Amino acid sequence: MIFKTILIANRGEIAVRVIRACREMGIKTIAVFSDADKDCLHVKYADDAVNIGPALSRKSYLNIDNIISAAKKTGADAIHPGYGFLSENANFAKACIDNNIIFIGPSAQSIAKAGDKSAARQTLMGLGIPIIPGSDDIVSSSDLACDIAARLGYPVILKAAGGGGGRGMRIARNKEELVSAFSIASGEARVAFGNPDIYLEKYIEKPRHIEIQILGDNFGNYIHLGERECSIQMRYQKLIEESPSSLVDETFRAKLGKTAIKIAKSIGYTNAGTMEFLVDKNKNFYFMEVNARIQVEHPVTELVTGVDIVHQQILIAAGEKLKIKQEDIRLNGWAMECRINATDPNDNFMPSPGQIESIIFPGGPGIRIDTHIHDKYMVTPFYDSLIGKLIVWAQDRPAAINRMRRALAEFEIKGIETTIGFYRKVFENDNFQTGDIDTHFLENMK
């Protein structure tokens, strides 16, 4: 039972990406759009389009009722949520099912399980999945924090139980620092998240962020598509991703992949998903979290595996069995992605909305561009500043770096500030070129 019509509950480059997969599969597409997006490429490319409200996300792309009505009105069999917006909202997944519409993603129950980090930690510890050593619960006083830190050994990191994305984190390198960090972190957590609860972990110095892409069908079949290296980030926003990772060999990949599948099985996870790990200098790896969605950086995996992940998501949601076997997956060559953001690297990467005057896109061998922008496109301040992705493939890492430098040299966007010029510098950096990177690389780059 393959779908006749899919509604894409998203905008921008990912809406275009999903429409392309549908078109290749012979599936009719329905776009949804806010008042700010009526002239967007996803609206133009889809077979039909429905206005779902004002520019503010809360009133349009996050409006569950409006999106469900659009699907019912147009007779869509399924909804693809893309990333961000409602993609990891268990209530939205449930609303789809309640209205007889298939949600292209994991079940509402596994989305909820993936989102509950402290519950996930407990379950996974029981299964022998490596997690960062830490307090098994919320730490109620700085005295207790000091006891736990003495057991773990310094440095330690305080994290807000209600937080995420790195907000409200504080590092302590000794007992004095921990006592003062505890009250600061707890106060910050109360203000920022309305919840003063804090927990404690051993601090992993200069880790790498490595994630495993998995696919699981509704019949218990799972495969992994290898890793993505995502250490090149700034304030927890990934900027450059690659696959494979220069840190990961066949043996390590098999170990990470097996662990990722074990995590997926433990929460009944189906469809495409990503298991994130922190990896330390000695290649100890620790599970961090599950991303229950297609991710921005999925194309690097597609280019080295030859698997169209969005196509697979649709087949799995339609109830097909996975036809790809683990032994069919071989990472061929090297892929790298630069996220093109409408931000100003010379002004703290602040958003720089405005009208694009003109664009010259790179092209030629090994270049893929996923974007929704074009000449005269207006970048509005309403949504994420990602305006496209430049992805390259070549036979090995040095060749991929060389190709990316060539592509970045060709790329020109006039009228707004972007991250393109910043990437030209990153790709000239010696440590970047040798793969000597970690999650703090950009802070320290000269």
- Catalytic (active-site) positions: 293
Q: Where are the beta strands (DSSP E) in 219-356?
A: 222-234, 237-243, 271-279, 285-291, 334-341, 343-344, 350-351, 354-355
Q: How far is the CB of 198 from ligand MV4 (least distance, A)?
A: 13
Which distant-in-sequence residues (6+ apart) come within 8 Å of 328 by Cβ? none
Is 104 near ligand MV4 (CB under 6 A)?
no
Closest CA to 78 of 56, 61, 102, 55: 102
Q: How far is the CB of 352 from ligand MV4 (least distance, A)?
A: 24
Cβ–Cβ < 8 Å for 351, 380 = no
Measure Cα distances from 220 to 103, 150, 183, 329, 443 in Å: 18, 43, 46, 18, 42
Measure Cα distances from 43 to 12, 58, 190, 225 in Å: 10, 20, 42, 31
Q: Which is nearer to ligand MV4, 172 or 390 (CB)?
A: 172
Is 247 near ligand MV4 (CB under 6 A)?
no
Is 132 near ligand MV4 (CB under 6 A)?
yes
Q: How far is the CB of 170 from ligand MV4 (least distance, A)?
A: 11
Q: How far is the CB of 165 from ligand MV4 (least distance, A)?
A: 6
Burial zone of 228 (CB within 10 Å; 0-12 exposed, 13-18 middle, 19+ buried): buried
Strand partners, 385: none
Q: How far is the CB of 336 from ligand MV4 (least distance, A)?
A: 18
Q: Which is nearer to ligand MV4, 133 or 354 (CB)?
A: 133
Name residues contacting ligand MV4, limited to 254-283 (CB under 6 A).
278
Number of chain positions touching ligand MV4 (CB under 6 A): 14
Is 201 near ligand MV4 (CB under 6 A)?
yes
Q: Which is nearer to ligand MV4, 101 or 204 (CB)?
A: 204
Measure Cα distances from 181 to 33, 153, 175, 264 in Å: 45, 16, 10, 35
Is 291 near ligand MV4 (CB under 6 A)?
no
Site string for ligand MV4, 393-432 (x = CB under 6 A): ----------------------------------------
Closest CA to 366 of 338, 398, 334, 342: 334
Site string for ligand MV4, 213-242 (x = CB under 6 A): --------------------x--x------
Is 312 near ligand MV4 (CB under 6 A)?
no
Closest CA to 215 of 223, 205, 227: 223
Is 14 near ligand MV4 (CB under 6 A)?
no
Cβ–Cβ < 8 Å for 409, 402 = no
Q: Which is nearer to ligand MV4, 250 or 443 (CB)?
A: 443
By CB under 6 A, which span of 204-212, 253-261, 392-400, 428-436 interacts with ligand MV4? 204-212
Name the residue with tokens 């984190």: 169
Cβ–Cβ < 8 Å for 14, 87 = no
Is 153 near ligand MV4 (CB under 6 A)?
no
Q: How far is the CB of 233 from ligand MV4 (least distance, A)?
A: 5
Closest CA to 393 of 330, 329, 308, 303: 303
Site string for ligand MV4, 165-194 (x = CB under 6 A): xx----------------------------
Q: Which is nearer to ligand MV4, 211 or 217 (CB)?
A: 211
Q: Which of 43, 90, 157, 215 binds ligand MV4 (CB under 6 A)?
A: 157
By CB under 6 A, which span of 195-203, 263-271, 301-309, 383-391 interacts with ligand MV4? 195-203
Query: Tokens at residue 243, please?
Result: 């696959």
Q: Which is nearer to ligand MV4, 195 or 326 (CB)?
A: 195
Q: Which is nearer to ligand MV4, 289 or 384 (CB)?
A: 289
Q: How far is the CB of 288 from ligand MV4 (least distance, A)?
A: 6
DSSP-assigned states of every residue in 375-390: TT-EE-TTS-SEEEEE
Name the residue with tokens 């909305």: 353
Is 209 near ligand MV4 (CB under 6 A)?
yes
Cβ–Cβ < 8 Å for 9, 67 = yes
Q: How far is the CB of 161 from ligand MV4 (least distance, A)?
A: 13
Strand partners, 210: 229, 277
Q: Which is nearer to ligand MV4, 43 or 132 (CB)?
A: 132
DSSP-assigned states of every residue in 113-164: HHH-HHHHHHHHHHTT--B--B-SS---SHHHHHHHHHHH-S-EEEEETT-B
Q: How far is the CB of 443 from ligand MV4 (least distance, A)?
A: 9
Beta strands 334-341 and 237-243 are antiparallel
Q: Which residues bind ligand MV4 (CB under 6 A)?
A: 132, 157, 165-166, 201-204, 207, 209, 233, 236, 278, 439
